[in-house]
Amino acid sequence: MEAPLLSIHNLDKHFDISGGLLDQLRWKGGKPVRERTMVRAVNRVSFEIRKGETLSVVGESGCGKSTLARTIIGLYPPNRGEIFYREERIDRLSPARMLPYRTKMQMVFQDPYASLNPRMRVRETLEEPVRFHRRLSGAEIKDCVAQVMEQVGVDPSWADRYPHEFSGGQRQRISIARALVVNPEFIIADEPISALDVSIQAQILNLLMDAQQERQLTYLFISHDLSVVEHISTRVAVMYLGTVCELAPVDALFDGPLHPYTQALLSAIPRLGEKGSRHIKIEGDVPTPIQLPTGCVFHGRCPHVRTVCTETVPKLRDFGGGHFAACHFIEEITARRAETSGHLA
Ligand SMILES: Nc1ncnc2c1ncn2[C@@H]1O[C@H](COP(=O)(O)OP(=O)(O)OP(=O)(O)O)[C@@H](O)[C@H]1O
Ligand SMILES: [Mg+2]
C-alpha cells in the first residue's frame, strides 16, 4: 500500500484559558494557588491520510474538528504529538522550512466572506499567493489566475470585482480558487458548504470533487452533515470530546457502526427504504473539554457503561478491514445487537 501523504500521532491541542473565573484554587503550603485552566480540544488523535482519498471528520459542535484541522495545517502548534507530511516531521519546522508545505497544504473555510479580504479585488486575492509561492512571469500569473477561475466556474472577466459583488456560492468558489491556485496536494475543507444555501451546496461539493479528480487532490473534509459525508468520503473519523472514537471506510462505518456514540449519531439520520425507527437517544449533554471525564470520554452518556469505562481509556482497536473503534465492549455490544435484530427479523 502507498505510504500515507500525511500522518498524525498522538496529537494534543490544549488552549490555556487561565486567568478567568474558571480557574480552580488549590491549597499548597497553606496558601491558595490558582490551577491552570486548559481547554483540552484535541486529545491523543492519530490517523493517516492516503494520497487521493477523502478522510472526513464528523462529530458534534465543539468536539474539536476545527482545532484538529488548524493544528494539522500549522495554524496552531500542538501541545504533544507528531505530524508527518510524507517522511518529514512538520510540526516543529521553522517558518522558512515550513514554507513549501504552506503551498502543498491549503484550507477552505466555512465562511467565504470572512476568508476573503473585502478590500482586495478577486484578481489580487488570487495573484498574491501565486506571486509569493511560484516563480512565474506576470503574463503566466495572469493566465494561471484566469485558468483557475474558469475551473471553479467564475467568469475570469469578473476578476476586477470585490468579494461583496459576488453571491455566497460564488465567493466560496473564489476561496476554492485561492486554495487551488498554488497547486496544492492536500486540502482541508472545514465545513465548506454549511454556510451556503441548500440549493448551492451540491454545486460546491461537485466542484470540490471534480477538482479532486482533475488534480489528484487529497482531502480532509470536516462536516457535521452525515449524508454529505456518506456521499463524498473514502474513510470517516468520528470525534467525540477531542478524541477519535471510530475510524473506518465509509461503507463499513455507515453499514455497521461499532462505537455506541457512532451508532447513536447515525441512528439520527433518516434513511431511505428503512422500516421503522431505530433512533438511539443519547442522554445528557457533552461534558466540557475543560474537565475531561476520566477513562472513556463518552462514559457519562453511554448506555453500555461499566466501571472499567470510568477508569481506563479505551484504545482504538482494529476490527479488520481498516475499521477501528475505541470502546471496551465492542464485541459484547455487537453480539447483543445481532441478537436483537435477529428477534426483530
Ligand atoms: N482559540 C481557542 N481558545 C480557547 N478554546 C478554544 C479555542 N478554539 C476552540 N476552542 C474550544 O475548543 C473546543 C473545540 O472547538 P472546535 O472549534 O475545534 O470544535 P468544532 O468541532 O470545530 O465545532 P463546530 O462544529 O462548532 O465548528 C471547544 O470547546 C472550543 O470552545
Ligand atoms: Mg469547527
- Backbone φ and ψ for 47, nearest 5 degrees, come out as -170, 170
- Please determine, for residue 224, whether its predicted confidence score (pLDDT) is greater than 90: no
pLDDT 10s digits, 289-306: 998 999 999 999 999 999
> pLDDT averaged over the chain?
92
Q: Which helix (H) or strand (E) holds 230?
A: helix 226-232
- Please determine, for residue 345, whether its predicted confidence score (pLDDT) is greater than 80: no
Q: The CATH number of the domain where 151 resides is what?
A: 3.40.50.300
List the Cα angle 36/40/42 in 5-degree steps. 150
Closest C-alpha residue for ligand 1 atom 8: 67
Residues 6+ apart with CB under 8 A from 153: 173, 203, 207
User: What sign results for the dihedral spanned by CA atoms 329, 330, 335, 340?
Assistant: positive
- 132 CA to middle of ligand 1, Å? 31
Ligand closest to CA 58? 1
Alpha-carbon dihedral angle through residues 175, 178, 180, 183, given to the nearest 10 degrees: -160
With respect to residue 315, please indicate whether it lies within any of the assigned structural domains: no
CA dist 232 and 249 (Å) reads 12
- 323 CA to middle of ligand 1, Å? 27
* Number of the ligand 1 atom closest to the C-alpha atom of 59: 21
With respect to residue 313, please indicate whether it lies within any of the assigned structural domains: no
Q: How far is CA 180 from CA 41, 96, 186, 263, in A?
A: 29, 22, 10, 36
- The alpha carbon of residue 9 and the mean position of all alpha carbons in its chain are separated, in whole angstroms, by 15
Residue type, 343: H
- Please determine, for residue 275, whether its predicted confidence score (pLDDT) is greater than 60: no
> And the C-alpha cell for 201?
451546496
* Mean pLDDT within 199-205: 95
- Per the structure, how many domains does the chain have? 1
Q: Which helix (H) or strand (E) holds 184?
A: none
Within 6 A (CB) of ligand 1 lie: 15, 17, 39, 41, 59, 61-67, 224, 289
Provide the pLDDT confidence category of residue 50 given band limits of 50, 70 and 90.
very high
- Minimum mean pLDDT range among 3-12, 85-94, 127-136, 278-287: 278-287
Closest C-alpha residue for ligand 1 atom 18: 64
With respect to residue 330, please indicate whether it lies within any of the assigned structural domains: no
CA dist 80 and 68 (Å) reads 12
**How big is the chain by its Cα radius of gyration, in Å?**
22
Residues, CB within 5 angstroms of ligand 2 (ion) = 66
CA dist 32 and 330 (Å) reads 44
Ligand closest to CA 287? 1
Closest CA to 254 of 275, 286, 232: 232
Closest C-alpha residue for ligand 1 atom 27: 61
Structural domain of 85:
6-286
CA dist 116 and 130 (Å) reads 16
* Mean pLDDT within 167-179: 96
Stated pTM of the model? 0.93
Q: Looking at residue 136, what is its pLDDT? A: 86
Q: Looking at residue 26, what is its pLDDT? A: 78
CA dist 279 and 175 (Å) reads 37
- Please determine, for residue 310, whether its predicted confidence score (pLDDT) is greater than 80: yes
With respect to residue 239, please indicate whether it lies within any of the assigned structural domains: yes
Closest C-alpha residue for ligand 1 atom 17: 66
CA dist 247 and 235 (Å) reads 7
* Number of the ligand 1 atom closest to the C-alpha atom of 42: 14
- 224 CA to middle of ligand 2, Å? 9
* Number of the ligand 1 atom closest to the C-alpha atom of 288: 29
Closest C-alpha residue for ligand 1 atom 14: 64
Q: Looking at residue 34, what is its pLDDT? A: 79
- Please determine, for residue 277, whether its predicted confidence score (pLDDT) is greater than 60: no
Closest CA to 301 of 327, 277, 326, 281: 281
- 237 CA to middle of ligand 2, Å? 15
With respect to residue 205, please indicate whether it lies within any of the assigned structural domains: yes
Percent of the chain with pLDDT over 70: 96
- Please determine, for residue 276, whether its predicted confidence score (pLDDT) is greater than 70: no
* Mean pLDDT within 56-69: 96
Closest CA to 266 of 227, 314, 316: 227
Closest C-alpha residue for ligand 1 atom 7: 15
Closest C-alpha residue for ligand 1 atom 26: 61
- Please determine, for residue 214, whether its predicted confidence score (pLDDT) is greater than 70: yes
Pocket probe mutation, ligand 1, options 11, 37, 38, 65, max atoms within 8 Å of Cβ: 65
CA dist 67 and 52 (Å) reads 23
**Exposed (0-12), middle (13-18) or buried (19+): which is 342, by Cβ within 10 Å?**
exposed
As beta bridge partners, residue 83 has 8
* Mean pLDDT within 264-292: 78
Q: Looking at residue 271, what is its pLDDT? A: 66
With respect to residue 297, please indicate whether it lies within any of the assigned structural domains: no
* Mean pLDDT within 260-276: 78
- Please determine, for residue 339, whether its predicted confidence score (pLDDT) is greater than 90: no
With respect to residue 119, please indicate whether it lies within any of the assigned structural domains: yes
With respect to residue 278, please indicate whether it lies within any of the assigned structural domains: yes
